[in-house]
Amino acid sequence: MPEETDIQPITKIVPFVWGEPGAPVFANHALIQYDGKSVFVTFGQAAPPLIWGTNQEEKNQQLEKIDSITVWPIIRIALDPESYRGIAEAFQKQLEIMGKSDAPKQQDK
């Protein structure tokens, strides 16, 4: 019978392959929390309330009844601080790229 020290781990390096993504879900709210060990990022979606009526008074009455608007969580991600920093840097780089492409075009005179 082999002893435990005789057991050699079997290792194999395999690549990660991304699968096909599903339909995108749009988020318009985000909440970031830190508990001292992990960063929790929650993305959610809120939609304006549906207000209808035949006149402004009816619409105002509906608005008076609204105390809050619910943000529906889509996903909550827990990250270690190092991973969070890497993702934050990737967001920042993308913002810089977008800022350059959104800059007003100068016309030749």
Q: Which domain, by its residues, includes 86?
A: 24-100
**What DSSP string describes 5-53?**
GG----------------------EEEEEE-SS-EEEEEEE--PPP---
Residues in the chain with pLDDT values less than 50:
108-109
Euclidean distance between CA atoms 85 and 40, whole angstroms:
13
Q: Structurally, how many domains does the chain consist of?
A: 1
Q: What is the pLDDT of residue 7?
A: 83
Structural domain includes residue 55: yes
Q: Is there a domain that residue 37 lies in?
A: yes
